[in-house]
Amino acid sequence: MRKLKLEELNRVSLTEFKSQKKLPVTVVLDNVRSMHNIGSIFRTADGFAVEQICLCGITAQPPHREIEKTALGATQSVNWIYFDTPVQAIEQLRANGYQIIAIEQAENSIMLNEFIPVDNEKYALIFGNEVNGVSDEAMEKIDACIEIPQFGTKHSFNIVVSAGIVLWDFFSKVVV
């Protein structure tokens, strides 16, 4: 078996990416503190061609060297917008027809493997702070909550791992 060379990957250009059809998902980062996590989520969002990222609260904004270390240019391909609070992002997204879903461990959460996205629906997926998770203010405004099943001794995944798992799941279930 041979690894493919970069030129064999047939990646789209930045211009082509900007105009291609996107996964009907917006990622909302609720007070994410690590710039490496932010950059990695940009890169993951690029890989799954999400519509946009909403950066909220203390979440750092590009351009920043520490974000770019892991984003590797994805801050140029993925559209993003900043909001002072996650509630402001939620209100705007809801007004634009998005279903608001927290990725969190909560009462009455739906296990990710049991969640079936509806065709032609737009989703805003909220990922929370590395220590405190999705803020209480945001949790009060959501339409649903998805939980990633876990079977080990730790109580949570890293936010980037969670984003990768959830975005892959949506990508595999939604017709783009």
pLDDT value at position 93? 98
- Tens digit of each residue's pLDDT (9 = 90 or more) over 53-99: 999 999 999 999 999 999 999 999 999 999 999 999 999 999 999 99
pLDDT value at position 44? 98
Whether residue 4 lies inside any domain: the answer is no
pTM of the model: 0.97
Whether residue 40 lies inside any domain: the answer is yes
Distance CA(76)–CA(59), nearest Å, equals: 17
Task: Check whether 37 has a pLDDT greater than 80.
Answer: yes
φ and ψ at 154, to 5 degrees?
A: -85, 155
pLDDT tier at 45, thresholds 50, 70, 90? very high
Whether residue 91 lies inside any domain: the answer is yes
pLDDT tier at 19, thresholds 50, 70, 90? very high
* Residues 6 or more apart whose Cβ sits within 8 Å of residue 12: 20
Whether residue 5 lies inside any domain: the answer is no
- Tens digit of each residue's pLDDT (9 = 90 or more) over 103-116: 999 999 999 999 99
Rg (the chain; Cα; Å): 16
pLDDT tier at 175, thresholds 50, 70, 90? confident
Task: Check whether 33 has a pLDDT greater than 80.
Answer: yes
pLDDT value at position 4? 96
Task: Check whether 176 has a pLDDT greater than 90.
Answer: no
Split into its structural domains, the chain has a count of: 1
Whether residue 12 lies inside any domain: the answer is no
Domain that holds residue 163: 20-149+156-173
User: In what order do the strands lie in the sheet containing 23-30?
Assistant: 79-83, 50-56, 23-30, 122-127, 98-103, 144-147, 110-111
Give me the mean pLDDT over the 3-19 stretch.
95
**Average pLDDT score over the chain:** 97
pLDDT tier at 149, thresholds 50, 70, 90? very high
Task: Check whether 41 has a pLDDT greater than 80.
Answer: yes
CATH code: domain of residue 106: 3.40.1280.10
- Tens digit of each residue's pLDDT (9 = 90 or more) over 155-172: 999 999 999 999 999 999
Whether residue 1 lies inside any domain: the answer is no
